[in-house]
Structure 1
Amino acid sequence: MNPVNILVVEDEFIVAMDIQNRLRKFGYTVLGLADSGEEAIKKAADNSLDLVLMDIHLKGNMDGVEAAQIIHNIFNIPVIYLTANADESTLNRAKGTEPFGYILKPFKEKELKFTIEITLSKHRMEKKLKQNEQWLTTVLKSIGDAVITSDQSGTVTFMNPIAEVLTGWNYSDAFGKEAAEVFNIAHETTRIIIESPVKQVLQSGITVGLPEQTILIAKNGTEIPIDDSVAPIKDDKGNITGAVLVFQDITERNQILEALARRQQEFKALVENAPDIISRFNPQLHYVYVNPAIEKVTGISAETFIGKTNAELNLPEEFCRICDRKLQQVFQTKEETEFECSLAIAQQTRHYHTRLVPELASDGEVYFILSIARNITALKLAEAQLIHDAFHDVLTGLPNRALFMERLERALMLTKRRTDYIFAVLFLDLDRFQVINDSLGHTIGDQLLTALARRLENCLRAGDTVARLGGDEFTILLDDLKNINDVTSVAERIHEALTSAFQLSGYEVFTTVSIGIALSRGSYNRAEELLRDADIAMYRAKALGKARHEIFDSTMYTQVTQLLELEMDLRRAVERQEFQVYYQPIVLLETYKIIGFEALVRWQHPQYGLVSPDNFIPLAEETGLIIPIGYWVLCEACRQMRAWQVQFPIDPPLTISVNLSTKQFSQPGLIEQINQIIQETGLEGGSLKLEITESVLMENIQLATFMLLQLQQMNIQLHLDDFGIGYSSLSYLHRFPSNALKIDRSFIAKIGANGENLEIVQAIVALAQNLNIDVIAEGVETLEQLAQLRLMKCKYAQGYFFSQPLDSKSVETLIVSGIEPRY
């Protein structure tokens, strides 16, 4: 069996690969993939294709319908549309390309294979029939009549070349001989010689036809079946002057008749084995023919249909009404029509697309109607599923954003008509859902979302709507509220429902949600405004500690607006270079000697003045602006430190510490950027210390270790910043090539007179000493804190006790004057 070669035309590569894998699983050969109409046409021209699976929406300027039309017209390759688009206009366009099938995504493998096999079978049959027609046409065009004429005595006077070929006589040899000798005929079955028809015509003067089964016995003995007639040749007075014998070799005609008989059998087999219901009706709407497919659907034998109407067969009333009305329409208009109807039999409803074709008599009247009904139940179910999927979340089965917004719009319009109508929108977001996804995997995460959807449904009243917007975000529409307590009661039920664990594939998972609430009371004109305010309130709930709910008020919107304005200002600040680097000294506690500085960025806002990092660094992290800001700070700090080293040469030289954020550290090309800065500024690698928090390193331990080793090769030191408040995973301290631990200021702040956190700080100092790395205390502000650190033998410190962050000019003064020891 020859392999079936298929071309897959699909603009989405992942979907194309999936289809290719399925086709290969079925045993088909995929000769290629194309994502545009132009590429599909090129591949159709280059390859020996049996079938094209065509998506409608493609890349490029040509869609699938245009490409299918060209492939069908030029290459006569069957096309099956395989697409998610099933709107009426697209179907009408696609129908004009005479496709062999139309499959809606998502589809089942069985549906795909079935459609392909039917298409290939149908195309082979059509191709065979077309070949037969071409062959028959060639045969008919090649048939020519042989002509022999005689005089009054019956001797040959003329032969045309075809007559020469058939009789085996050359004209020169046959001339003057008796026509009966040249035209020797007999009965094919009885073998009896037939009297020369020329003689009969010359005697009777009338045209004589050759008997059936007449054969011509050629000069060489070849027997040729022939047919036609002999007519007298008369002069203008009506006297017989001879005869003309016109005959033809009907060997090919007999072959044609046999071929036509075979073709009729093939057509009959095709019709009787077709899955479509094929039938014919007379003007009285009686069935005159049905194929066996109708028996499988109705359970009524094909013979029973003949001579009866739909009503007489007790078919469903609605089906009879629609079908009979359409038949009458075609009989009246004499025009073909198509329609869809349903046939419910034996508690099963099937949907059919029916085409009615009028068969016209010679007088132009319709004497029969051919009906071809195709089962489109699968298509209808797919359309219904497509509509459902368009308005529902695939994972949870909940309404999606589109359906939720439609219902929200409806509720909002109702408030315009009913002054007593109140509703509320709840915006829910899972707390720490990303942690669950990262630690347990996306499969468990999906299971959690599905299970959460069921619990949320159980918390609502009849008529309320819960929807999944996407990710871990859900919304609820509480309809027709009596008072505010109805809203808070639902929110509290949700919190209560989440107190028990979710059992997910052997894992016991706890989660909470932050809920924002927006009430319909107010001047809302658009559904998006309610959703926006509920979202804002949800973020307020998260900011206040999560696992709680907050009701929106106008101050929240003001704060969000201010934050947006700050973001726009921050973006302009990057372009306008409104940032400054301040420097805080790092001091050797034993001598109060300044050994280096930490670079701290400040924003000189043109309107608000100097903006604290606490007010813009988190926003810069969130928006990604921290990357260009961080690069500028690193470059400026290295440049400035190198200038101070030249201006204030000491041994060892001053160092500069620069913070790296999570986004900076994970940025591709960071090592190359740092190396470029060192090369351009002339700063030695040993004078640069990069401060990185534990959480940055723990996000991707392997990548972090590799990058830190590269930095170590450049002689750049690593300081673990804010040590003690993150993972504090001792097992990884040995893996990371760190040079120092920086104790977070939150620990230092409480080791004064009351001695809180004293043991923690002491443990960190001891840990650093045991690991033979330095330790730096941040945020030293009091003499008591300094005394405790000195007793612990903490080597370095920084903080307001020694100096607040300074601009570059003030730093130069501080370097010259030094820091006065205080005890």
Structure 2
Amino acid sequence: MHLWVWIALGALVVLVIVEQLRIFKANREFRKKDEIFQAVTENAADMIALVDVKGRRLYNSPAYKRVLGYSPSELSETSSFEQIHPDDRMRVLEAAREARESGVGKRLEYRIKHKDGSWRVLESVASTIRDAKGEVAKLVIVNRDITERKRAEQQLEYNLFHDLLTGLPNRRMFMDRLQTSFARVRRETGRSYALLLANVDHFKVFNEAMGTKAGDHILTEIARRLSVEIRQDDANARDRAAGSDASLFRLGADEFTILLENVGDPSDALRIARRLQKAVAAPLTIESREVRASASVGIALTTAAHTRPEDVLKDADVAMRRAKAMGGSRCEVFDEAMHTRAVGRLKLESDLRTALMERQFRIHYQPVLQLDTRRIMSFEALLRWEHPTQGLISPYCFIDAAEDTGILVSIGHWLMVQACRQLREWEVNDRSGSPMHVTVNVSARQFADARLANDIQDALQQTGVDPSRLQLEMTEKIASADPKLTVTVLSHLKHFGIGTVLDNFGTGSTSLVGLRQFPVDALKIDRSLIREMQTDRSASDIVELIILLAHKMNLKVIAEGIETARQLERLLELGCEYGQGYFFSQPMEAKAALIFMRQQLVARKTAGTS
């Protein structure tokens, strides 16, 4: 019996020793894991926290001190939720509740206060620790500071919707706001808005004369002034407890737009537009120089006819262009008549492109004669449009649209080639033996186009026409617009042996000094002066002065628009050598022009034998 007692005691001792060994090994494993956990948390860049289910902090890694500035003792004195931004606390509490219930933590972002009072943005992921009963007892939260990343994202988003030069909302944001306003107006009866489109007048001149840096300074200052005026208008509207809600945007280049909510009367928009113009017109100083800018403003109000947000912008653009066409520094309100003209203009531009592709353009020729002998000296090639439904259309009806769209450059090149080709054909069939010339009009776009010289050479090479037989004609307005360019281009033409004529002379702003510099061969007196010379003494005096001036400068003189025998007699008395007009012949097709040449030759021979 005594032996069995000793055996039982021995077994018990062995069991105790085994259990102690197991506990020792478990503690050693736990300490190893704890050391690993400590090593990871102590050196981790992310902040790692251990909290109980009530949010009390049980452990905070040293990264909290580096990132948020709080010491462990300072953190232990507060709940983990106290530093969280008030607007974010409910989200964090909800995420903690879900983690306790589901055992799965979710990723979320929230703001937490730094010790210096600023707010940092954290990206947080929580995992759970369960107790022996399988219930969530603790949360391990890993927080990463993403403040700089969020700031970079916000800056990127800001840049996406704002103009970098002026800081104003850009076209992208404008179109978004316009879409919102458009949808609201269609949804809510009685709501309306207006759009102001402002364009800085002659901004290209500022850039060319003062440089792009000065141009940027002008745009920045204009943007500041417009912003101040709009804020003042909003303040006044609040004082009146009514009024417009105005937003300013920079569309790009030298264009700004103002969206006016709750404006239904054009007069309200016009009042604001004029105040903005006044602000822009105030002098500003750049590099010790006083500069004055101005703006043209187009105004459009939303109507039931608008089916897309962009429609009101197009209307404002039409009104703005009208303001610029009327001299600039004006406000124009879009109306239905203007809309009709705009739609007609768009159709005209489309028809012009079709006309060029389908070869609907024609050339008519009007002879220029030596007034005393009636001998044909040249033919002026005049563009006509043979429209499939409207018949023959004068260039006065479409030349502006062709010029604005740039299609006139292509049309001009085609006309030059065709005129030279026709001249070559006449030379083959001409029996008079006298040299014939053809005159081609050059538009402002063509004159400024760098390809003009190549186009002329191409036309001459294709047709084999002697350059001296070709004359180019440009208006006095085109020549005086950029005197330096005019001298350069005309000098090149002179070098080629091509003659040049200054058209519409007597109605433009060319100075005598400028005229002396222009290497032209002839002056063409404007038809308005010829028409009025019989009834207006001043017009007659101007014609006489032009002829005298031309002779003094060894230039030929051509009178345009001769329609009566009395006009012809007076021009001969004044010593004008050449002329053209309906008195001699209206513009005609090439075949008719050849017949006219032959008739003139017969008439001259008959006159010589009699």
Q: Same fold (TM over 0.5)?
A: yes
Residue in 2 that maps onto 1:532: 314
Q: Give a deviation string over 1:75-113, Cα, whole Å, max 9, x none.
A: xxxxxxxxxxxxxxxxxxxxxxxxxxxxxxxxxxxxxxx
- Asked if the contact 2:85/2:111 (under 8 Å) is kept, the reply is no
* 1:714–1:424 CA distance, 2 compared to 1 (3 A): closer
- Asked if the contact 2:480/2:510 (under 8 Å) is kept, the reply is no
Pairing 1:509–2:286 present? no
Q: Please point out which of 565, 580, 583 is paired with 2:362.
A: 580
Residue in 2 that maps onto 1:74: none
CA distance in 2 between counterparts of 1:515 and 1:434 reads: 17
Q: Please point out which of 110, 120, 138 is paired with 1:341.
A: 110
- The letter for the 1-side match of 2:246 is D
Q: Give a deviation string over 1:700-759, Cα, whole Å, max 9, x none.
A: 877766665554444222333344555636556566543333343344444443232556
CA distance in 2 between counterparts of 1:321 and 1:479 reads: 36
- Asked if the contact 2:51/2:140 (under 8 Å) is kept, the reply is no
Residue in 2 that maps onto 1:399: 169
Residue in 2 that maps onto 1:560: 342
Pairing 1:311–2:79 present? yes
Residue in 2 that maps onto 1:476: 258
Q: How does 1:258-277 map to 2 (within 5 A)?
A: 276-277=45-46
- The letter for the 2-side match of 1:288 is Y
3-state secondary structure, aligned to 2:537: coil
CA distance in 2 between counterparts of 1:467 and 1:517 reads: 15
Which structure has more RCO (C-alpha within 8 Å, separation ≥ 6)? 2
Larger radius of gyration: 1
CA distance in 2 between counterparts of 1:708 and 1:421 reads: 58
Q: Give a deviation string over 1:340-392, Cα, whole Å, max 9, x none.
A: 11112443112122344679999999998665433322332333334444443
TM-score (norm 2): 0.76
Pairing 1:286–2:68 present? no
Q: Please point out which of 705, 729, 738 is paired with 2:520.
A: 738
Residue in 1 that maps onto 2:607: none
CA distance in 2 between counterparts of 1:582 and 1:601 reads: 6
TM-score (norm 1): 0.58
Q: Using the TM superposition, give the Cα deviation of residue 595 of structure 1 relative to its aligned residue in structure 2, in angstroms.
A: 0.8
Q: Using the TM superposition, give the Cα deviation of residue 597 of structure 1 relative to its aligned residue in structure 2, in angstroms.
A: 1.1
CA distance in 1 between counterparts of 2:565 and 2:286 reads: 54
Q: Using the TM superposition, give the Cα deviation of residue 622 of structure 1 relative to its aligned residue in structure 2, in angstroms.
A: 2.0
Residue in 2 that maps onto 1:301: 71
CA distance in 2 between counterparts of 1:754 and 1:764 reads: 16
CA distance in 2 between counterparts of 1:418 and 1:328 reads: 43
Q: Give a deviation string over 1:126-153, Cα, whole Å, max 9, x none.
A: xxxxxxxxxxxxxxxxxxxxxxxxxxxx
Residue in 2 that maps onto 1:607: 389
Q: Would you say how many aligned residue pairs link Structure 1 and Structure 2? A: 554
- Asked if the contact 1:283/1:331 (under 8 Å) is kept, the reply is no
* 1:663–1:499 CA distance, 2 compared to 1 (3 A): closer
CA distance in 2 between counterparts of 1:526 and 1:447 reads: 35
Pairing 1:487–2:269 present? yes
Q: Using the TM superposition, give the Cα deviation of residue 695 of structure 1 relative to its aligned residue in structure 2, in angstroms.
A: 6.1
CA distance in 1 between counterparts of 2:474 and 2:267 reads: 48
3-state secondary structure, aligned to 1:531: helix
CA distance in 1 between counterparts of 2:107 and 2:176 reads: 34
Q: Please point out which of 434, 437, 443 is paired with 1:661.
A: 443
Pairing 1:551–2:321 present? no
- The letter for the 1-side match of 2:364 is Y
* 1:802–1:512 CA distance, 2 compared to 1 (3 A): farther
Q: Please point out which of 438, 447, 452 is paired with 2:217.
A: 447
- The letter for the 1-side match of 2:83 is L
- Asked if the contact 1:392/1:398 (under 8 Å) is kept, the reply is yes
Q: Using the TM superposition, give the Cα deviation of residue 645 of structure 1 relative to its aligned residue in structure 2, in angstroms.
A: 2.4
Residue in 1 that maps onto 2:575: 793
- Asked if the contact 1:357/1:371 (under 8 Å) is kept, the reply is yes
Residue in 2 that maps onto 1:717: 499
Q: Using the TM superposition, give the Cα deviation of residue 465 of structure 1 relative to its aligned residue in structure 2, in angstroms.
A: 2.5
* 1:340–1:722 CA distance, 2 compared to 1 (3 A): same
Residue in 2 that maps onto 1:72: none
CA distance in 1 between counterparts of 2:52 and 2:302 reads: 64
Moved more, 471-480 or 757-766: 757-766
Q: Give a deviation string over 1:579-631, Cα, whole Å, max 9, x none.
A: 22111111223433221111101111121111011112222222232233222
- The letter for the 2-side match of 1:529 is D
Residue in 1 that maps onto 2:419: 637
* 1:783–1:363 CA distance, 2 compared to 1 (3 A): farther
Residue in 2 that maps onto 1:809: 591
3-state secondary structure, aligned to 2:398: helix
Residue in 1 that maps onto 2:122: 352
* 1:314–1:734 CA distance, 2 compared to 1 (3 A): same
* 1:379–1:778 CA distance, 2 compared to 1 (3 A): farther
- Asked if the contact 1:278/1:370 (under 8 Å) is kept, the reply is no
3-state secondary structure, aligned to 1:311: coil
Moved more, 768-777 or 780-789: 780-789
* 1:320–1:516 CA distance, 2 compared to 1 (3 A): closer
Residue in 2 that maps onto 1:14: none
Q: Using the TM superposition, give the Cα deviation of residue 657 of structure 1 relative to its aligned residue in structure 2, in angstroms.
A: 0.7
- The letter for the 2-side match of 1:813 is I
Q: Give a deviation string over 1:304-363, Cα, whole Å, max 9, x none.
A: 54xx38507953474776667656766766656432111124431121223446799999
- Asked if the contact 1:541/1:550 (under 8 Å) is kept, the reply is yes
CA distance in 2 between counterparts of 1:520 and 1:780 reads: 51
CA distance in 2 between counterparts of 1:339 and 1:706 reads: 69
- Asked if the contact 2:367/2:376 (under 8 Å) is kept, the reply is yes
3-state secondary structure, aligned to 1:603: strand
3-state secondary structure, aligned to 2:262: coil
Q: Give a deviation string over 1:226-245, Cα, whole Å, max 9, x none.
A: xxxxxxxxxxxxxxxxxxxx
3-state secondary structure, aligned to 1:435: helix
3-state secondary structure, aligned to 2:107: strand
Q: Please point out which of 549, 554, 557 is paired with 1:775.
A: 557
Pairing 1:427–2:209 present? no
* 1:331–1:699 CA distance, 2 compared to 1 (3 A): farther
Residue in 2 that maps onto 1:684: 466
Residue in 2 that maps onto 1:518: 300
- Asked if the contact 1:641/1:655 (under 8 Å) is kept, the reply is yes
Higher helix share: 2
CA distance in 2 between counterparts of 1:386 and 1:338 reads: 23
Residue in 2 that maps onto 1:236: none
3-state secondary structure, aligned to 2:538: coil
Q: Gaps (5+ residues) in structure 2?
A: 1-35, 238-244, 605-610
- Asked if the contact 1:279/1:287 (under 8 Å) is kept, the reply is no
- Asked if the contact 1:427/1:535 (under 8 Å) is kept, the reply is yes
Q: Give a deviation string over 1:386-436, Cα, whole Å, max 9, x none.
A: 444444333333333444444444444554565444433333333333333
Q: Give a deviation string over 1:26-51, Cα, whole Å, max 9, x none.
A: xxxxxxxxxxxxxxxxxxxxxxxxxx
- Asked if the contact 1:753/1:784 (under 8 Å) is kept, the reply is no
Residue in 2 that maps onto 1:165: none
CA distance in 2 between counterparts of 1:670 and 1:533 reads: 35
3-state secondary structure, aligned to 1:674: helix
3-state secondary structure, aligned to 1:753: coil
Residue in 1 that maps onto 2:147: 377
The sequence identity of aligned pairs, in percent, is 36
3-state secondary structure, aligned to 2:461: helix
Q: Using the TM superposition, give the Cα deviation of residue 655 of structure 1 relative to its aligned residue in structure 2, in angstroms.
A: 0.6
- Asked if the contact 1:498/1:511 (under 8 Å) is kept, the reply is yes
Q: Using the TM superposition, give the Cα deviation of residue 290 of structure 1 relative to its aligned residue in structure 2, in angstroms.
A: 1.7
CA distance in 2 between counterparts of 1:746 and 1:440 reads: 39
- Asked if the contact 1:424/1:478 (under 8 Å) is kept, the reply is yes
Q: Gaps (5+ residues) in structure 1?
A: 1-263
Pairing 1:646–2:428 present? yes
- Asked if the contact 1:280/1:368 (under 8 Å) is kept, the reply is no
- The alignment yields a C-alpha RMSD, in angstroms, of 4.1
- The letter for the 1-side match of 2:169 is P
